[in-house]
Amino acid sequence: MIRKIKKVLLPLLFILAIIIVAYQYHTQFEYKKLNPGGKPSSPKVIAVTAHGPQAQISANTNVVQKTTYLRCNDEQIFNGKPAANMIGMDQKQLRQTYSEWTIDKFDPHDLQMSIRIDTLCREHASNLYLGISDGFVVIFHGTPVMKPIVKEPTKIRAAELAPEEVEKLRRGLPIAFYEEAMTMIRNYKMPAS
């Protein structure tokens, strides 16, 4: 008799436990939908749309990371899937791991992060060219088609150079490395023979 009761009672208790867990999840989810407001827990979190405190990043989460380089004011935007170390992180873990970043949006489907860095973007930092600014030869960061950012001015007046050299410098003369620029500048200083 006790075996029959156990045989019937155990499955009923299991089903009851599933119903209770499902009800709690549903009410928590509905509460979040009805009351999504409240201030973010951190000033670095701007808009959080997480689905409950256990929302996690999955391999399918769309990640948008925006980097603003303050010295050249360029922006780089990465849009893709999360790095392996991000998968499984909840919002708190993400904020701890990426403490310098601002979390703009966090939910299982979308993660948007941004950061402002006081440096040059890779394109400006890894490229140099010679050009003219305020009538002088100047070494610029970047490429001639980019916004000019002065790396180093010289004391060489463009008016003292041959017209064809001035025209090359006005268009921007890409250089492979800083030493090449210095060699060219020394050649500009040498009197024509």
Fold that domain 123-189 belongs to in CATH: Alpha-Beta Plaits (3.30.70)
**CA distance readout (Å), 62 to 32, 126, 143, 186:** 22, 30, 32, 52
Dihedrals φ, ψ of 47, to 5°?
-140, 110
For the chain, the average pLDDT equals: 80
Of the candidates 125, 185, 124, which has an alpha carbon nearest to the alpha carbon of residue 154? 185
Is the confidence at residue 101, as pLDDT, over 90?
Answer: yes
pLDDT tens for residues 9-65?
A: 666 666 756 666 555 655 554 444 444 444 333 434 444 444 455 689 999 999 999
Distance of CA 135 to the CA centre of its chain: 37
pLDDT tens for residues 158-182?
A: 999 999 999 999 999 999 888 998 9
The pLDDT > 90 percentage for the chain reads 51
Strands 102-106 and 74-80: unpaired
Q: pLDDT-based confidence at 188, cuts 50/70/90?
A: confident
* Cα gap 59→183, rounded to integer Å: 51
Element (H, E) at 96: helix 91-97
Q: State the CB neighbour count (10 A cutoff) for residue 173.
A: 19
